[in-house]
Amino acid sequence: MAGRYWGLIAVSFLVRVGFFLFGIYQDANFKVRYTDIDYFVFHDAAKYVYAGKSPYARDTYRYTPLLSWLLVPNHYFGWFHLGKVIFVIFDLITGLIIMNLLNQTISKKKALILGSIWLLNPMVITISTRGNAESVLCCLIMLTLYYLQKGNYTVAGLLYGLSIHLKIYPIIYCIPMAIFIYYRTSRQGPQAQLTSLFNIGLSTLVTLLGCGWTMYKIYGYEFLDQAYLYHLYRTDHRHNFSIWNMLLYLDSANQGSGGSNLSKYAFVPQLLLVLLTGCLEWWNPTFDNLLSVLFVQTFAFVAYNKVCTSQYFVWYLIFLPFYLSRSHIGWKKGLLMVTLWVVTQGIWLSQGYYLEFEGKNVFYPGLFVASALFFLTNVWLLGQFITDLKMLVPPASASKRLN
């Protein structure tokens, strides 16, 4: 079985090499570029950093400066694609951690199959080899959970704080993680519970505030505005699967002329769902269930987010192998769920292509209907996931399964 394990890792590496090389070829020979537009933004921002300037000198750079620092080797070694290699390395490390955690709870054969959902997933591979930085975030989240499972709450908190600094959204995981730690340490007494929660909370704040303060001292208010505050008032509408896409488009066109304020409240249903799904860990406070809850919680966050692009899907795909390892959903229903998700996404992508590459006015009914279909599909899927999750373990037996 060890041979199969390393065989999967080798194949995963070679497939990524193939995607990477084909991407270079596609960029040079096809109308539609393989390299993600965000990668050009990262690369250009790193150029300014390499020259001793602010990464925010690059228009549309809306991330922590740490990401631009990570791509400085692009300019030091003079190779545009080096950053993609870095992202692929994080991608593979994420897969290794997933495999490690799966091997602790299920058979090695089943772990190989489920681990392939990440390691051989075309969407995951495409996103990292196109130069999207989500693999860095996914790696930090999985490392956080790895040390959380080991009971090393200080290291878990340091990594967790770094992941929140990189992208704000992982902060939603604090509720289910706190529930898990509270119940896991319950047998050790109230003092141990408080100490454990304090350790992870303090180390998270140390990293989060430390990174934030350092970036603020170097880059000033511009860092706060572009990396954090911008996401509160953003009106991105290009290549956005969200049901809010059309409203964001209209708001961006009517800026300064008293447009609709409805999009500003898009976070309300999203926040309520994220809080409620996070509390599902209380239903069965084990580590296995925590990973499943994080899958459902992240799926809800992405489905209801006012901005949703393809790379956001990997945010919940890192948890999918763990969810499937315990799910009671049959293969027929599962196939239907995957088919609906892929087909409605494909319908949207076809309309997005006509809009962005052909310049056709397909906003209504084409793009609007496609967004509505994809959203409704995701809402139905979310309902199935929640129902399945609540069936996994009866509340009465939860205390017997504490890790």
Residue 388, pLDDT score: 93
Indicate whether 257 pLDDT > 60.
no
Tokens 């596609």 -> residue: 26
From the number of C-beta atoms within 10 Å of its C-beta (0-12, 13-18, 19+), residue 277 rates as buried
Do the Cβ atoms of 160 and 154 come closer than 8 Å? no
Residue of 297, 369, 383 lying closest to 337 (CA atoms): 383
d(CA 169, CA 315): 10
Q: Give mean pLDDT, residues 225-242.
A: 73
Residue of 89, 78, 69, 81 lying closest to 40 (CA atoms): 81
Indicate whether 266 pLDDT > 60.
yes
Residue 105, pLDDT score: 87
Residue 365, pLDDT score: 83
Indicate whether 39 pLDDT > 80.
yes
Maximum Cα interatomic distance, the chain, rounded to a whole number of Å: 65
Tens digits of per-residue pLDDT, 234-251?
655 556 788 877 777 666
Tens digits of per-residue pLDDT, 319-365?
999 999 999 999 999 999 999 999 999 998 888 878 777 777 777 88
Residue of 198, 139, 197 lying closest to 166 (CA atoms): 139
Distances (CA, A) of 15 to 8, 58, 198: 10, 33, 43
Tens digits of per-residue pLDDT, 68-79?
999 999 999 999
Instruction: Give 261's pLDDT tier (boundaries 50, 70, 90).
Output: low
Instruction: Give 307's pLDDT tier (boundaries 50, 70, 90).
Output: confident
d(CA 165, CA 145): 17
Whole-angstrom distance between the N-terminal and C-terminal Cα of the chain? 26
Tens digits of per-residue pLDDT, 370-395?
999 999 999 999 999 999 988 776 54
Residue 142 in tokens: 């999985």
d(CA 200, CA 73): 33
Residue 254, pLDDT score: 61
Residue 132 in tokens: 């999207």
Tens digits of per-residue pLDDT, 53-73?
999 999 989 999 999 999 999
d(CA 393, CA 403): 14
Domain ranges of the chain: 132-234, 237-391
Indicate whether 400 pLDDT > 70.
no
Kindly give the interhelix angle for 122-129 and 2-29, rounded to the nearest 10 degrees. Answer: 50
Residue of 80, 70, 84, 78 lying closest to 19 (CA atoms): 84
For the question of whether the overall pTM of this predicted structure is more than 0.85, the answer is yes
Amino acid sitting at position 111: A
